[in-house]
Amino acid sequence: MPDAVLTVDAVTAGYVPDLPILRSVTLTAERGKLTVIIGPNGAGKSTLIKAVYGLVPISDGIITADGKGILGLSPDRMTSVGIAYVPQSDNVFRTLTIRQNLDLALQKHARADEKLSELYARFPVLADKQRDRAGSLSGGQRQFLAVAMALAADPGLILMDEPSAGLSPKAAEEVLDHAKQLTGQGVTILLVEQNVKQALKRADHCYVLAEGRNQIDGPAADLLQDPALGRIYLGRERRAQA
Amino acid sequence: MIGFISYLVFFSTVAAILAIAVLGLNLQWGNTGLFNGGIVASFGAGAYGTLILGGTPQDGHLGGFELFYPLALAGGMAFAGGLAWVVGRLTLRLRHDYLAIATFGVAVAFENVMRNATGVTGGAQGIRGFERPLQNLLGSGFSYNLVFLVAVLAFLALVYVFLERLTVSPFGRLLRAIREDETAARSLGKSPDRVRLAAFVTGSVIIGLAGGLYGTFYAFVSPQDVLPILTFQIWAMLIVGGAGNNRGAMAGAFLIWGAWTFSGWALSRFAPVEAQLYTGSIQFVLIGMVIVGMLLWRPQGLFPERLVVSQPGVDTGNKQRD
């Protein structure tokens, strides 16, 4: 029996009542694994992750974290149940310094100084630039800061919404590599990604959504070789025809 | 000469009182991004509260509790804070222009209640029968006004120091964080709704303090003192001075109040007699032009927000990596 940190069971959700974006979506994120959600634009990937975090109203279904229901829990209480969220964009406070961003994230931490040193050791670039404004960081550095802020709450599960969006290929790989490294340290990652190949190379398990519904799921390595996925999402068929 | 000094004291007192109100608005807008279009309701709540609690008994309206002045002033601030809490609970989920419209509506309703609830507020005739503190000792002339100015400046300094400390405190950083990005703040386990309400109430209490001092200075308050133009004047002061900068907010108060009184004087002295009938209206237009002009050409104000680096860095031994 897999050790599920997060289970999403037949969830229907949307921004407007009676207009669901997600339709009976089911998903499991296993402890210490990198689970990736992929799918075409408008599939509901980001909506799913926001629904888990309490940012999108859910009209039906059940969500549990470590076996406890978290449906209806407000976003500001998610960190108290060990869940952190890294939004796709605007995930740092640009006019604050890097240190101030981290201080905000560490406000309620019992051993804030110790944790700060740990985060600086993990992301040396943030230590070097701690007095700079977050707005002055490059895209990749900004994602590192956002991840560091998420880690400040010592979460068991991190929800990441397209962390490689807008990054150079090199920076995107660094960010995804870091997400993978975190799973090696016991953190569970649920990641939404458009960068399908790169995400699948690092993920343990993958869910494919389209039009707000589950399409395929399975071990990421298998899906990477799955011709169905290639046809639909990676454009192999189109390239072959060309 | 003594007349000029006397006027200067009067001018400075009103400007300093308004500067306190602008500091309150700066906490709400400059630091937290709350578009309060109903400043005058908090200002009025402070003024009415102070005079009702501290005044002598009068026929025809509530009040005359003759409370010890500091208690009456604190009561006025508490009225302003209580009103802000209720308004905030109802409106702070709204954003920007919607919040501005809702709070502006509250301010208009406040003025109408003050004008029509005669049994409570004295109606159009306002609250009378308030004896200014220490008036028996100092009289009611120049010396009283001078002492009162010193007291108002002391309050202004206290509010300034309080807000400067707040700005660099963790709570101040949280305000700026929420102003910048609410979702990111939520992702860190912060509750923007609670923090915004706290900032709204705190700013309103400060504006209520300004209202209480204003009512004390004139020993009178009526619906004419809580007209919407005061909201726009205070906004103009903040926009001109520089939202997010407490020093700018205070400078803006003195500058705009100076421009307002000077324009009134100049219009009454130099404008044709027919135009003098419309002096007030012309001043309203001028205030509007100042706001629009600043927003077009210098939206950050004369004294832009200083982005404070409040803490020394931690030496992590990584300084040589570059």
Q: Take residue A4 and report the two structure tokens written for it.
A: 């599920």
To the nearest whole Å, the CA of A27 is away from the closest chain B CA by 21
B311 CB near a chain A CB, below 8 Å? yes
Q: Are A55 and B183 a contacting pair at CB < 8 A?
A: yes
Every domain of chain A and the residues it spans: 4-90+155-241
Q: Rounded to 5 degrees, what are φ and ψ at B299?
A: -65, -20
**Could you tell me the sign of the dihedral formed by the alpha carbons of B157, B161, B164, B166, in that order?**
negative
CB atoms within 10 A of CB B216: 27
Least CB–CB distance from B183: residue in A77, A87, A128? A87
Residue A49: burial class (beta carbons within 10 Å; 0-12, 13-18, 19+): buried
To the nearest whole Å, the CA of B207 is away from the closest chain A CA by 27
Least CB–CB distance from A117: residue in B177, B188, B316? B316
A83 strand-pairing partners: A157
**Could you tell me the sign of the dihedral formed by the alpha carbons of B61, B64, B69, B73, in that order?**
negative
SS3 at position B178: helix
Q: Length of chain A in residues, anyone?
A: 242
Residues B189, A79 contacting (CB under 8 angstroms): yes
Q: What residues in A contact B316, CB-CB < 8 Å?
A: 117, 120-121, 124, 127
Interface A:B, Cβ pairs < 8 A: 96
Q: Are A105 and B321 a contacting pair at CB < 8 A?
A: no
CB atoms within 10 A of CB A171: 19
CA atoms within 13 A on the CB side of B246: 21
B315 CB near a chain A CB, below 8 Å? no
Q: Are B173 and A77 a contacting pair at CB < 8 A?
A: no
Which regions of chain B are under pLDDT 50?
A: 309-322
Q: Which of A60, A58, A78, A59 is nearest to A70 (CA)?
A: A78
Helices A139-151 and A98-105 cross at an angle (nearest 10°) of 30
User: Among 3.30.40.10, 3.40.50.20, 3.40.50.970, 3.40.50.300, what is the CATH number of A4-90+155-241?
Assistant: 3.40.50.300
| pLDDT of A76 | 86
| pLDDT of A232 | 62
| pLDDT of B181 | 84
B320 CB near a chain A CB, below 8 Å? no
| pLDDT of B120 | 86
Residue pLDDT, tens place only, A130-186 = 999 998 998 889 999 999 999 998 999 999 999 888 888 888 888 899 999 999 988
A62 strand-pairing partners: A9
Least CB–CB distance from A93: residue in B180, B309, B314? B180
Question: Using alpha carbons only, how large is chain B's radius of gyration in Å?
Answer: 21
Residues A163, A143 contacting (CB under 8 angstroms): yes
Q: What's the rounded Cα separation, in Å, for the pair A203 and A35? A: 6
**Could you tell me the sign of the dihedral formed by the alpha carbons of A49, A52, A55, A56, in that order?**
positive
Least CB–CB distance from B187: residue in A77, A85, A117? A85
Q: What's the rounded Cα separation, in Å, for the pair A22 and A105? A: 31
Residues B220, B130 contacting (CB under 8 angstroms): yes
Residue pLDDT, tens place only, A189-241 = 999 998 888 888 899 999 999 889 988 888 988 888 877 776 665 554 444 44
| pLDDT of B255 | 94
Q: What's the rounded Cα separation, in Å, for the pair B311 and B70? A: 36
**From start to end of B164-301, where are the E strands?**
none
Q: Are A120 and B188 a contacting pair at CB < 8 A?
A: no
B174 CB near a chain A CB, below 8 Å? yes
Q: Chain B residue with minimal CA distance to A88?
A: B184
Residues A150, A161 contacting (CB under 8 angstroms): no
| pLDDT of A77 | 87
Every domain of chain B and the residues it spans: 10-227
Q: Take residue B273 and report the two structure tokens written for it.
A: 């007699």
Q: What residues in A contact B180, CB-CB < 8 Å?
A: 90, 93-96
Q: Are A127 and B190 a contacting pair at CB < 8 A?
A: no
β pairing state of A22-30 and A83-86: unpaired
| pLDDT of B307 | 64
Question: H helices within A65-138, ranges in order?
Answer: 98-105, 112-122, 124-128
Residue pLDDT, tens place only, A38-89 = 988 888 999 999 999 999 999 999 999 998 999 988 888 898 899 999 988 7
Provide ipTM, 2 decimals: 0.73
Q: Take residue B100 and report the two structure tokens written for it.
A: 């501005």
Candidates B31, B182, B188: best to mutate against A (most CBs of A within 10 A) is B188
Contacts with B92 (C-beta within 8 Å, 6 or more apart), sequence order: B34, B99, B193, B196, B197, B200
Which pLDDT band holds residue A10 (cuts at 50, 70, 90)?
A: very high
Instruction: Tell me the residues of chain B between 249 and 288 that have a Cβ less than 8 Å away from chain A.
Output: none
| pLDDT of A189 | 95
